[in-house]
Amino acid sequence: MRRPRAYAEDMDYMQAGAASRTRGRAETEDLGMDEEGKTIEVQRSRGIERSYTGEATSDGAGVRLTRLLSQGLQRRLDPFLMLDFFGSDQAADYIAGFPDHPHRGFETITYMLEGRMRHRDNAGHEGLLQTGGMQWMVAGSGVVHSEMPEQEAGRMTGFQLWLNLPARDKMTKPWYRDFGAADLPRVHAPSGATAIVLAGESHGVAGAVQRPVTEPLVLDVRIPAGQRWQQPLKPGHHAFAVLYEGRASIGGGELAPKSLAVLTDDASADGVIVAAREEARILLVAGLPLNEPIVQYGPFVMNTREEIVAAVQDIREGRFG
């Protein structure tokens, strides 16, 4: 298989972060320090505003999943549009995969906790997403791609997150990049807690991808029983968390397992403190809202109804990719 390559790697918008450097492996750093050499600590944690259990559904050719974030939360969690969690050791739940389908107007982040899935698109590019890896795709002006399991048995588990593009970038050239598990930067706390930094920055460690407009922070945090993880968050950024293993709390409020917890927009809070009652893993996500109109029709997310009509016409007439 030829090595996957990214689209439009010279475009300013598509700047990759730490993992795109030529050193070949991700940064692994101890917990960050401030300018005075003190460990970065959160003084006041955001709390849990509300929890959503998500909706059991299927997508693609019948892949069973839980939709944790959908259209009803898009404005509250702007710039994020959708979050799916998939996890099963029954091949019938995932084997049909996601055959060719189009996207326009946003980005997709697929994080594979366990399993193997191959991506192919109508521009002739392909890549293999494996356990611990991430694929970041910018649909932009339009792409038709497939995501198909490359296993016939065993467990397949992961997340797919949709991140909106600003109006000015919705028709940018499509782009994607695969990151192996070893390419994703990590932060280690003295408590034994660790965070994989998929996007943004955590305690001075730059994530695999940076986005200058929406400023997404995407962390996979593992916390030993009885320990805490502290993460500074920028004021005005919307944030949520998903506890997918173990037991934990945020700001003193218990996290419901495999549910999406919307975190408060508390102007007096400078971050989030997660405490593990038993060993826990949490997907922590935050970003700067775009505050732009959101019009979605299936796999197309634009700003106006007229742009949606144009997207449907373009896919019918073969103008994607």
- Look at residue 1 and tell me if it is in a domain: no
CATH number at residue 51: 2.60.120.10
Q: For residues 2-33, b (16+ Cβ closer than 10 Å) or e, as one string? A: eeeebbeeeeebbebbbbbeeeeebbebebee
Domain membership of residue 14 (yes or no) is no
Digit-by-digit pLDDT tens for the chain (321 residues) are 233 333 334 344 454 443 443 333 455 565 654 444 445 789 999 999 999 999 988 788 778 888 999 999 999 999 999 999 998 888 788 888 888 889 999 999 999 999 999 888 887 778 899 999 999 999 999 999 888 888 778 888 999 999 999 999 999 999 889 999 999 999 999 989 999 999 999 999 999 999 999 999 999 999 999 999 999 999 999 999 999 999 999 999 999 999 999 999 999 999 999 999 999 999 999 999 999 999 999 999 999 999 999 999 999 998 886
Q: What is the pTM of this model?
A: 0.89
Q: Is residue 321 part of a domain?
A: no
The pLDDT score that the predictor gives to residue 99 is: 84
Establish if 19 belongs to a structural domain. Answer: no
Domain count, the chain: 1
- Tell me what pLDDT residue 32 has: 52
Q: Are 122 and 320 in contact (CB under 8 A)?
A: yes
Range of the domain at 250: 26-315
Q: Tell me how far apart the alpha carbons of residues 47 and 161 are, in angstroms, rounded to a whole number.
A: 22
CA distance 126 to 201: 28
pLDDT for the residue 12: 46
* pLDDT score recorded for residue 61: 72
Query: Per the domain annotation, does 13 fall within a domain?
Result: no
Residue 39: its pLDDT value, please? Answer: 57
